[in-house]
Chains A and B, each alone.
Chain A
Amino acid sequence: MIADLGLIALVLAALASIYSLVTAAMGGRTKRADLIESARRAAVMIAPLLTLACLSIIISNLTGDYSLEYTYRVSNDTTPTLLRITALWGGQNGSMLFWCWLLSWYVFFTFLRPWKSNLDLQPWVNFVAIGTQAFFILLVIFYANPFARLWVDAAGNVSAAVFQPAGLRAYIAPDGTGLNPLLRHPGMIIHPPMLYLGFVGLTIPFAYAIGAMLARNKTDSWIRASRRATLIAWLFLSLGLLLGARWAYDVLGWGGYWGWDPVENSALLPWLVATAFLHSVIIQEKRSMFKIWNMVLILLAFCLMVLGTFVTRTGVISSVHSFARSSLGVPFLLFVAIVFVGSVGLMIDRSNLLKSENKLDSLFSREAAFVLNNFVFVAITFTVFVGTYYSMFSELFTGQKLTVGPPVFNQLLGPQVAVLVLLMGIGPLVAWRKSSPEALGRMSWKSALLGVGVMIALFALGIKPFWVLLGFGLIGYTAGVTFSEYWRGMRARHKLSGENYPTALTRLFQRNRRRYGGYLIHVGVLVMGIGVIGSLNFQQQTQRSMEPGSSVTLGNYTLTYDHALTCDPTSTMPPDCADWYKDRGRDIEVIAGYFTVSQAGQAPVELTPYREVFLNNTGELSPPGVLTTIGEDLYVIFLGEQSGFGTVKVFINPLIQFLWSGGIVLVIGTIVAMWPSAAERREAVTMPERVAVRGVVQ
C-alpha cells in the first residue's frame, strides 16, 4: 500500500522531469519567459516527490513488508531499526533511487528561487541538469525498480516484477534475507551517501558549463555561478574518499586504507580533475584565460564520474566492491555515449566562444604555476586512469587481463605528488603576470631552510631513504610558505589598522575566505602527506601463532594472548557470546581474540580484535583491535584459533593519525572557502552588470 504510493510518486517525478526537460528546451530556443519559469517550477517538484518515494521504501523496510522484493533482499526480522532505514541505499535498486533523490535536492536548491541573473543560461542549465535527473529516474523505473513485488507461480517459483504477471499470485516471503553484512558497519552507512553527494553534485557545474555553451554565452558567469556547487561537490567527494579509507582501515583488517581498487580509483578520478578545475578557474576569473581548458576539465570531471558509475555498477571492471551487478549496462552505455560525444561535439562546435582573452606573459608567473599544477593533476589523473582500465586495454589488445597492482601506482604517483607539493609551496608566492626568481627567493628562503632543516634533522634521527627525506623536506618547505602567507597577511593588517593578531587573522579569513580557506586545505593535504609517507614507509608487522599466556613483542608493545571466543549462532553458544549479539545479525559468526597490551610505564590495555564470518558465504570482515597514540597505531588482527593456538597479525602504523586529522583540516578549509562572505554577497548582486560590460568590451 505504502509502496504503491511510492511508486506513484516516482512515476510523477519522472513525468515532472520530462516535462521540465521539454519545456526548458523550448523556452531556451524561443526565449519565452513563461516556458522557462514553468520548466523551473517542474524541476523544483521532483525533490519532494522523490522524498515520498524514498520514505515509502524506508517504511516498507521498517514494517518488514516482504511482498516487496527490495525489502526482502536488504532487510529481515532481526535487522535493527537504524539499518532498516539505511538499507535504502544498501542494495542496487534502492541505492539508484537514493542517488536520484540526492541529485534532486541539488536541482531543488539550484532552481528554488526565480533566477535574478544569468537568465540566458537558466533554461539550458535546467535542460542539462534535468536531463541527467530524468535519465536516472527512468533507469530506476525500468531497470532497477525498488518497488518490484514478489510473485509466485503454481510450481512455487518466486519472481519479481512491478505489475502482476499473468498466471502468478502475489507472494509474501516469511522473512527477508538481510542486508549484506559488509554494509552493516557504521562507516559503510555514511560513506556511500557522502560519495554519492559528491558524484551527483558534479551535475550542477556540468549543467552550467554545457548550458553556457548552448546559450552561446561568452562570459565566465557560468564559473562564478557554479563555484559554490562545485565546492560542495568537491567537499563531499573528499569526505567520501576519506571515510572510505577510514572504513577500510577500521573494518577490512589488512592494515591499510587505500588499495588502488578500480572502485576507489573511479571515485578518485573525478576528484583529481575537479581539484584541477578548482585551481584553473582562478586563472579564468582573474585573467580570462584557459576558457577551453576549464570547460574540458569540468566536462571531464562529470564524464569520469559517469564512467566510474558505469563500470562499477555494470561489472565491466571487476572489483572487490562488486556489491551490485545488474542489467543497467545497455541504457547506461547509451547515457555515457550521449554525455561523452555530446560534450566533445558541442565543444568543437562552440570553440569560437572559448577564445582566450589574454596570453601567458611569462613562464615565471602565477598563471604559469597554475598551468604546471594542472599539468601535474592531469598527469596523475592519466596515470590512475590507465592503471584502472589497464586490464580492459590489455585484454582488448593482447587477449590477456593484466592488472596493475598497488606498488606500481605508488611508484608512479609518488614523484608526481612530490612535484605537486612543491608547486603548492611556490604557487602562492609568484605574482600574477610576471615575477622573478629573485622575488621568489626573497620570499621563500626561510621556508626552504626549514625544509632542508627538516631533512637534516630526520637524517640525524636515522631516517635514511632518500625519497622519504625528500617528501618530508617538501612538506616542511610548503608548510613554511603557507604559514608565512598567513603571517604576512596578519602582520600587514596589524601594522595598517593596529588590530591585534588574533583579530587580524579572523579578518584575514573574512576578507578573503577563498584564498585563506584554500591555504587551510593545503595545510590539510600536507598533514595528510605526513601520514601517508609514514604509514607507507615505516609500517612494522609480525605474525604469530600463540598459545594462551604467551606474548609477542613489536616495537615498544608486548601483546599477550589470553583466549579466543568462537560464537556460531547456528549452534549453542558460550554465555560470553551474548555481548557480541546485541546489535549483530544472527547470520554472522564471530571469532574473537582477547589480548592484553603492555608498555613500559603504562597501564595494560585490553584489545579484542575479531573476525566476522558471514554464514551466507558472502565473505568476512576482520575488524582490528587498535591502540591509538599520537605517534602511531598498534593494529592487531585476529586470524583465528586452532588447537588452542591463536593466530595474530600485529602492525605498527606510524603517523597514521596525521592522515585522519589532515582530512579534518581539509574539510574545515573547504567549508571556510565556500562560506559566503559579505563581500561575495554584494558581488552577487552587481555581477550581471559587470559581466554585461565585459561582454561589450570584447
Chain B
Amino acid sequence: MSESEVDETNAEEQPARSPLRRYLPLGLVVAFVAFLAWGLFTRNETQPTSGAAAPDFTLALFNDYPGNIGKTPVSLADLRGKVVLINFWASWCIPCAQEAADLQAAYQQYKDRGVVFLGVDYLDAETDARNYLKRFNIDYANGPDLGTVVSGRYHITGVPETYIVDKAGIIQFTKISPVNQAELAAVFERLLK
C-alpha cells in the first residue's frame, strides 16, 4: 500500500518509471505462476493405501515413551514381523482427543500379542505433547515428527490419521478420522491370525 501511495503522490514529478520498477510486478507474477506449475506437477496425491508397502522411516522417541519397542530411534523396517499401528496426532488437534482413550485401550489389549503402537506427533511443542500424553495416560511409543519427514512420506492430509501395517510391512488399514477400539480390535484379530 505504502508503495502505491508514493506512486500516486509522485506521479507528476516522475512521469516515467525505471523499466525495472515497471516490470517487476510482471516478473513476480510470472514467477508465481511458475511456482504454481511446480506445485501442480510435483503434487503427490499418492497417499499409501491398503495393500501398498508402508513407506519406511526412522523416528526418535520421546524419553520415557519407549512403549513396547524398547529402543530409540526406531525404524519401521526393524519392526518387520510385528503388526504396527502408526497414528499421527497432535496436542492441538481436537478430534485426536476423541480417539486417544480408544487407542490406549486397544494398546493395553494387544501390546503383549506382538502389536506395536507408534504415535507420531505432528507439528507440536514438546511440553504440550507431553501434557497430552499424560492427560490420556498414554504409554505406547511416541516421538515427534521432526522436520515432518514421516508425515511427508505418508502424505497425511491432517491429524488424526491411522495406518496399520501387517507383519510383512504391507498397509492393511488406513483411516483419516478418529478410530475406535472395536474397529482396531477387528483389524488386529485378522492380522494376528
A residues apposed to B, CB below 8 Å: 254-256, 289-290, 292-293, 296, 307, 310-311, 314-320, 322, 325, 329-330, 333, 336-337, 340-341, 344-345, 347-348, 351, 355-356, 359-360, 371, 374-375, 378, 392, 396, 400-403, 405-407, 543, 545, 617, 619-620, 637, 639-640, 642, 647, 649
Q: Give the size of the chain B interface in residues (CB under 8 angstroms).
A: 50
Are A406 and B45 in contact, CB atoms less than 8 angstroms apart?
no
Docked CA distance A340–B97 (Å): 43
Please, which residue of chain B has its CB at the minimum distance from the CB of A321?
B157
Q: Which of A316, A340, A545, A617 contacts B33 (CB 8 A)?
A: A340
CB of B26 within 8 A of CB of A640, answer: no
Q: Does B77 interact with chain A (Cβ within 8 Å)?
A: no
Given A254-B95, A316-B43: A344 in contact with B25 (beta carbons within 8 A) = yes
B40 touches A320 (CB 8 A): no
Q: How far is the CB of B45 from chain A (nearest CB, A)?
A: 6
User: Main SS of chain A's interface residues?
Assistant: mixed
B51 at interface, CB cutoff 8 A? no
The reply to whether A325 and B157 form a contact with Cβ atoms under 8 Å apart is: no
Starting from the known contacts A341-B30, A378-B1, 8 additional A-B residue pairs (CB-CB under 8 Å) come to A254-B94, A296-B4, A315-B43, A333-B33, A348-B25, A356-B9, A640-B102, A642-B180
What residues of chain B have their CB less than 8 Å away from a CB belonging to chain A?
1-2, 4-5, 7-9, 11-12, 22-23, 25-26, 29-30, 32-33, 35-40, 43, 45, 90, 92, 94-95, 97-98, 101-102, 105, 123, 147-149, 151-152, 155, 157-158, 175-178, 180-182
List 27 A-B pairs, Cβ < 8 Å.
A254-B95, A256-B94, A289-B8, A292-B4, A314-B43, A330-B40, A336-B33, A341-B30, A347-B25, A355-B12, A360-B8, A374-B1, A378-B1, A392-B35, A392-B39, A396-B38, A400-B147, A400-B152, A401-B148, A406-B92, A407-B92, A620-B177, A639-B180, A642-B102, A642-B181, A642-B182, A647-B101
A619–B177 touching, CB < 8 Å: yes
| Contact (Cβ within 8 A) A401 B152 | yes
Bound complex: CA A340 to CA B151 (Å): 33
**When chains A and B are docked, how far (Å) is the Cα of A290 from the Cα of B94?**
45
Tell me if B148 and A400 are in contact (CB < 8 A).
Answer: yes
Whether A348 pairs with B36 at a CB distance below 8 angstroms is no
Residues of the A chain whose Cβ atoms lie less than 8 Å from the Cβ of B90: 405
B7 contacts A292, C-beta separation under 8 Å:
yes
Contact A320 B97 (CB under 8 A): no
Contact of A348 with B157 in the complex, beta carbons under 8 Å? no
Which B residues touch A296, using CB under 8 A? 4
Chain B residues lying within 8 Å of A254, measured Cβ to Cβ, are 94-95
Residues B176 and A348 in contact, CB atoms below 8 Å apart: no
A345 touching B94 in the complex, CB below 8 Å, given contacts A292-B4, A400-B149: no
Assess the B36–A316 pair: CB atoms within 8 A: yes
Q: Given the complex of chains A and B, what is the CA–CA distance between A228 and B169 in angstroms?
A: 60
